[in-house]
Amino acid sequence: MALPYMLKHKGFPGRYPGTDFQYTLRRANPKGATELTARERFKDRRKPERDADEYFLASLWEHFGSEPFERGNLDAGRLSWLFGREVIAADDDFDPSSYEALLKIDERRARASFPQVFEGSV
């Protein structure tokens, strides 16, 4: 059984440094990509989890800026913490279960949620 196509984002951090918070996948799932769903971020989330989100958004911004990007090997779990807010679908025929789905950063919302990312203090 052939694995589905999955773009690997070279140079993107694999995880949040010093933790097990994963950012990328090593290989495609033979059953297909895990569906992206917007996860609610509650105010009582632990600081390391909030820091992992911030570093992930900073990495997305550094690698892609305001340009659309392919989901590829970016981790669905980590993307889902930002999806529907700071990271949104880049086109009308978006498939949340595709490695080839195009995403983009909603810069206005990202700046409001994570101002330190855009001030260069992450």
Q: Where are the domains of the chain?
A: 47-118
Give the single-character DSSP code of 20.
Answer: -
Alpha helix (H) residue ranges in 1-122: 47-64, 76-82, 107-113, 115-118
Closest to 25 in 3D by CA, of 36, 12, 38, 40: 12
Contacts of 84-91 with CB under 8 Å at 24 or more apart are 84/38, 85/38, 85/109, 85/113, 86/57, 86/110, 86/113, 86/114, 87/57, 87/60
Give the single-character DSSP code of 22.
Answer: B
Q: How does residue 119 score in pLDDT terms, banded at 50, 70 and 90?
A: confident
Q: Per-residue pLDDT tens for 34-77?
A: 999 999 998 889 999 999 999 999 999 999 999 999 999 999 99
CA 94 to CA 37: how far, in whole Å?
12
